[in-house]
Structure 1
Amino acid sequence: MLFKQMFCMSLVCVAGLAWPMANLHAETVAPPADADSVSNAAIDKAVDQGISFLKSRGQDDQGAFSPQTGAAVTALCVRAILQNRPKAIDDPAIVKALEFIESKVQSDGGIYATGSRYRNYETSIAVGALIKANRDDRYDSQLARAEAFLKGLQWDEGEGATPEDAAYGGAGYGRHKRPDLSNTSFLIEALKELGNDADDEAIQKALKFVTRTQNLEGQGNDTEHASAVGDGGFYYTPAAGGESQAGQNPGGGLRSYGSMTYAGLKSMIYAGLTADDPRVIAAMEFLRNHYSLETNPGMGAAGLYYYYHTFAKALDAAGIKILDDAEGTPHVWRSELAKTLIDAQQSDGSWVNAENDRWMEGDRQLVTAYALLALSYCKDQP
């Protein structure tokens, strides 16, 4: 409840914390009139059409969705369906998909395709799906082993890293296994869902890495990039010299971009940072200054649906209902995101990034899962 907002004269105060009043609207104040408000019924219809696409056209005979990704997209689809429709647990499509995920459980506790370069990514996402499907504790053993596996993958003393190393605390994929914020945010989310609290050692190690991906000086980012941009946003990785998918700033430093900033905000919340922490305040300032549902700020159309689902998770985790942009325009983000996604839905019920297929966003199964996950956060909240 740390991020619940209450209206004050010059501050939004939360359980002893403080949000600048210009940032957020209070829950006790009626939201602005919204001619484009989207009903829960309209969201349900879009969700049903998306699930119908996945079940009728997206799944193969083995129960997998995009099996070339190992467990990853299948797990995302299972989670997306069950997060929206928990009673679908006994649906034959879900049963088959879960059997496929179980077939990827390895002897080391990870959940990934044999020979996979994406073990953290696959396992972290599979954990989320199995937790949603863990009726009668049927997956307790697999989840406990997956937790130990994920903690073992983390870059820390076991890999010869020290807290002074830019890679420390992170998780990654690829041949070089260099950690990055996207993988680390999936790791933190999986550990949280497995029942680890913010004080868990692995989560606090991951927070060190997350802090080093923020363009903010003097708050834990001790890399050469800390002061070069200074806009409070996040980039891809500080490790191995640092990299941003949005490129380098002409004046030096790594450019911040939208999807990583929402991933960073979500990760900081899960790691226990409060609303008055300078890192959270700086991240919120970047997000207000770059509020958009037309692009992934800094990346254009690249990774747009990954952005949408991370945007929704982060703002939901922060307890934010209405967010003012840099001009002071209030945004009822749940309604705006729902409208954006419903307008983009294809006639067959799927979603696809028609403008940019980078990061597999030409894959309708993956993108439909992202859209369904984002819509699960869009209904009017009680």
Structure 2
Amino acid sequence: MNKLTLVCTLLVAGIATSLSAAAPTLDQQTKAGINFLRNSQADDGSWTAPNRPGVSGLITTSLLESDLPVDDPTVAKALKHLESFVQPDGGIYNPEGSHRNYETCIILMAFEEANEDGRYDTQIKNAEKFLRGLQWDEGEGLESNDTSYGGAGYGSHQRPDMSNTQFFLDALKAAGAEEDDPAVQKALVFISRAQNLESEYNQTAFAGKINDGGFFYTPAAGGETKAGETENGGLRSYGSMTYAGLKSMAYAGLEKDDVRVAAALKWIQKYYTLDTNPGMGEQGLFYYYHTFAKTLDVLDMEQVTSADGTEHDWEVELVSKLGSLQRSNGSWVNKADRWYEGDPNLVTAYALMALSYCE
């Protein structure tokens, strides 16, 4: 082999190696993420902090959704840790914290993933009952025209929001709730009012100010969005909450021809991207990736046609995007450290859960 041939061969090999390194497969990403979480687990079975079971619950779910068995040592240790948060009232949470709905929802879903042999039947049933008691409805003295009605918040006396409500519905769904379940239909009332869409289902003060079909954080207690307000007081829509709203509507049995669903689908087509959490930049980006993937899976959408007519195979694009963001130690982390996304344990869980919908 002459020098020129040798140089060309080495260059081709180098390019191939570089391309391979830049584009890890779904399986490679998943295995690397799992290995990172194995190595970052504390001796007590937790991650990040032993008194924050929501984080450990998400991570445990991500490992189970990545096809680790219940008797895997890492998973078994994590489940034992989560079991220590089961409370006499049926909830599964840190009693000294303020995230009772969130933590119970997350851990219920982890237990459901680990429940093939029925070992968590009792805990799931009790947790479901506890969550139903947290929903803002007649039990709190509310009438159906109250903007808090049907929603779920972090816990007692904390106004409901779309993030907690989507986890609430995820948990009820995991526990076996059907679309006509009264709690699901009450949640639909709240969700419809968190949409920027004036309709018979939404006559709030915010409904028509933007009217783009997207969703914001909450219509309750005067309303709030994490994406900022318009000059006329409108609450801007953003990506993660729009996908959360769309998924929640699907759980409640709404079809694609429903005016609310059609408007939400139009919004995600207009703002389709994996570069940012639309409306929020990089804030909450991995929460967005997980919600994005789960929603499109629930809707059984293999492709999304963006506003310019481009058809996106979202699974392929998401695997590619997450592959480009994975760090050499197998973790993911968000440089925009908001909502705990500076924590590689939590963010790796979000990424693994998102990838689990790309199989």
Q: Secondary structure at the match of 2:208?
A: coil
Does the alignment pair 1:50 with 2:33?
A: yes
Which amino acid letter does the alignment assign opposite residue 43 of structure 1? L
| Residues 321 and 60 of structure 1: CA distance in aligned 2, closer, same or farther (over 3 Å) | same
2:67 maps to: 85
1:97 maps to: 78
Provide, for residues 206-251 of structure 1, a one-character-per-residue CA deviation record: whole Å limited to 9, x for no partner: 1100000000001411210000000000000000010000011123
| Residues 232 and 274 of structure 1: CA distance in aligned 2, closer, same or farther (over 3 Å) | same
2:16 maps to: none
Partners of 2:301 and 2:122 in 1: how far apart? 35
1:278 maps to: 259
1:63 maps to: 45
**Contact 2:101 / 2:168 at 8 angstroms: preserved in 1?**
yes
Which amino acid letter does the alignment assign opposite residue 128 of structure 2? E
Q: Secondary structure at the match of 1:215?
A: coil
**Contact 2:180 / 2:252 at 8 angstroms: preserved in 1?**
yes
| Residues 374 and 251 of structure 1: CA distance in aligned 2, closer, same or farther (over 3 Å) | same
Partners of 1:176 and 1:310 in 2: how far apart? 26
Q: TM-score, normalised by structure 1?
A: 0.87
**Contact 2:134 / 2:155 at 8 angstroms: preserved in 1?**
no
1:134 maps to: 115
Poorly superposed stretches of 4+, deviation over 3 Å: none
| Residues 313 and 282 of structure 1: CA distance in aligned 2, closer, same or farther (over 3 Å) | same
2:348 maps to: 368
Partners of 1:219 and 1:78 in 2: how far apart? 41
- State the 1:252 CA deviation: 2.5
Query: What are the equivalent positions in structure 2 for 1:263-274 lying under 5 Å apart?
Result: 263-274=244-255
1:16 maps to: none
Q: Secondary structure at the match of 1:90?
A: coil
- State the 1:70 CA deviation: 2.2
Q: TM-score, normalised by structure 2?
A: 0.92
- State the 1:69 CA deviation: 5.6
Partners of 1:192 and 1:219 in 2: how far apart? 26
Identity of aligned residues (%): 54
Q: Which 5+ residue runs of structure 2 have no aligned equivalent?
A: 1-18
Q: Secondary structure at the match of 2:353?
A: helix
Which amino acid letter does the alignment assign opposite residue 63 of structure 2? I
- State the 1:174 CA deviation: 6.2
2:5 maps to: none
2:187 maps to: 206
From 150, 157, 163, give the equivalent of 2:131: 150
- State the 1:322 CA deviation: 1.1
RMSD: 1.7
Q: Secondary structure at the match of 2:70?
A: helix
| Residues 68 and 214 of structure 1: CA distance in aligned 2, closer, same or farther (over 3 Å) | farther
Q: Which 5+ residue runs of structure 1 have no aligned equivalent?
A: 1-35
**Contact 1:229 / 1:252 at 8 angstroms: preserved in 2?**
no
1:72 maps to: 54
Which one has more relative contact order, counting CA pairs under 8 Å at least 6 apart?
1
Query: What are the equivalent positions in structure 2 for 1:346-365 lying under 5 Å apart?
Result: 346-354=327-335, 356-365=336-345
**Contact 1:211 / 1:219 at 8 angstroms: preserved in 2?**
no
Partners of 1:135 and 1:260 in 2: how far apart? 31
Provide, for residues 88-147 of structure 1, a one-character-per-residue CA deviation record: whole Å limited to 9, x for no partner: 211111111001100000111000012220000000010110001113211001010000
Greater gyration radius:
2
